[in-house]
Amino acid sequence: MQTSEFTFELRVCQWAERHWPPTSDGSDERVLIARQLGTKHRRWDTIVVETDRHRLAERARFGTHRLDADLLGVVRNAPPEWAYYRDVLPHPGYPWRYVRDAIHTAEDRGILDTRRRGNRIEIRRKWEYPDWVDRIVAIENKPDLDASAAQALTDQLQRDVALALADEVWVATRATGETVEPALLERLPVETGILTVTTGGDRASTGRTDARVVWHPRSLDRTAVGTRILERATDGESDLSVARFEYADPEWKATKRLEIAERAYERGWRSYVDSMRPDCRWFSLRSVDGDVLPWCGANACSQSSAECSGRCSSFEPEPPNWRTRGWPIDGGPGAALKRLLADQRRRHRIDHEE
């Protein structure tokens, strides 16, 4: 059965949550899986953040919401003893009033101690912010990797390899069962790993999505200066244009990686429901070939987020009486499904909130 790229992406996320890394030795590794994250100029389909239980527990002290760049600048540099904030925090490169806003936000979230001494705000850390991210792995999901799709993807992958923001870059594609997988014959960068994915419908023995490594990636040097390709010449011999690029220093890369990891910590991959209409009477979750996917009862399919909107011709709001069952009034089945996915997201982190 042919599946949309959105559904394929959700299957890959669930497989990665169960089995990443593919060569796991059963150690104390933990992974966080997220989707559609990246930078201003590049968004990856699937993100894998590798860490371990101990450091993930230390990160959990700072709550379930992400720490943005401003908050990271405060909590990472807050001193163990009381001090005037301007004396201990690095200059942000913008007005200090925005730093004060971040300090108040951190105080409201219970992750920073503050006090006033006259007109001066002093701060003290509650906990040391941990170095909790081991590696970041980017996966591009292309269920149907034909020649044209591979050509379009190659340019993106070459940019990923040159920038080296992620530690590894992979391509996940549907397995064909051929002796030599067609993906191996495409002109993908040799630094890129390849996963061939078989869904439950193709594998009657287990009924769940599985993946096999057919090409191992090279580890990229995240500590080196990266190259951000801005514009490149075409392959035509008549093209005399000059490629444009700029360098990305290791400090920028380290900061951006941490921001991506924080967003992955907050969102996970189950946040897809936030861009859909679970308040439609036809919306549900269903186990399809062993994977839990959104399901449209009106069209009898696993719908994508683009299809599941108020513009859908089959959209019908939940009947009002569905939303008033039970006490207190917590909404209808759609609200319950959002709570269920949020609870599952929390269980796949280590949540030490009291």
**Structural domain boundaries of the chain?**
5-55+132-270, 68-125, 274-347
Render the burial of 101-138: b for 16+ CB within 10 Å, e for the rest. Answer: ebbebbbeeebbebeeeeeebbbebeeebbebbebbbb
Query: For position 1, what pLDDT does the model report?
Result: 44
DSSP bridge partners of 138: 47, 169
Query: For position 3, what pLDDT does the model report?
Result: 67
Query: For position 26, what pLDDT does the model report?
Result: 57
Beta strands in 16-119 (DSSP E): 29-38, 43-52, 83-84, 112-117
How many contiguous H segments (helices) and E segments (strands) does the chain have? 8, 13
User: 171: buried, middle or exposed (CB in 10 Å: 19+, 13-18, 0-12)?
Assistant: buried
Query: For position 354, what pLDDT does the model report?
Result: 39
Q: At residue 10, what is the residue type?
A: L
Query: For position 205, what pLDDT does the model report?
Result: 40
Range 5-55+132-270: architecture per CATH: 3-Layer(aba) Sandwich (3.40)
Query: Mind listing the pLDDT tens digit of every residue in the chain (354 residues)?
Result: 456 899 999 999 999 999 999 876 656 788 999 999 999 889 999 999 999 999 999 999 999 999 999 999 999 999 999 999 999 999 998 999 999 999 999 999 999 999 999 999 999 999 999 999 999 999 999 998 888 888 889 999 999 999 999 999 999 999 988 888 888 888 899 999 999 999 866 543 456 789 999 999 999 999 999 999 988 766 655 555 567 889 999 999 999 999 999 999 999 999 999 999 999 999 999 988 788 999 999 999 999 988 998 889 999 998 887 776 654 556 778 888 888 888 888 887 764 443
